[in-house]
Amino acid sequence: MICWLTVPAAVSCEFPSEVAMQLVIETNGSVRCLYGETIDLTPLGQLAISRGSLVEPCQDGSWFADLSPVEGPMLGPFAHRSDALAAEVGWLEQHWL
């Protein structure tokens, strides 16, 4: 943990090993995010968790990220599943959040 003095009698701390989690709060109170275990979402209310995409292999061994569940494109082909997952997260962060 890194802490520093911000004003007299106030300290700000940073936890460099923690990852930020982006939440979008709609005007109707609904919240959407890329699911992670960074923070506990249960205090926000009843959860409805669903997939934002499907990362699937093709017969030739390549990978695609199908973002149709959020009205997005088909991304790929990718040589590695990890590349398809990274593209999935990148697209969702840029276009869905």
- 72-89 pLDDT tens trace: 999 999 999 999 999 999
In 1-97, where do the E strands start and end?
2-7, 10-14, 23-25, 31-33, 54-57, 63-66, 74-78
**pTM passes above 0.75:** no
> Residue 50's pLDDT is what?
87
> Residue 38's pLDDT is what?
84
Residues of the chain with pLDDT under 50: 1, 3, 5
> Residue 86's pLDDT is what?
95
> Residue 1's pLDDT is what?
45
Number of structural domains (the chain) is 1
Q: Which domain holds residue 16?
A: 2-96
Separation CA 54–CA 31 (nearest Å): 21
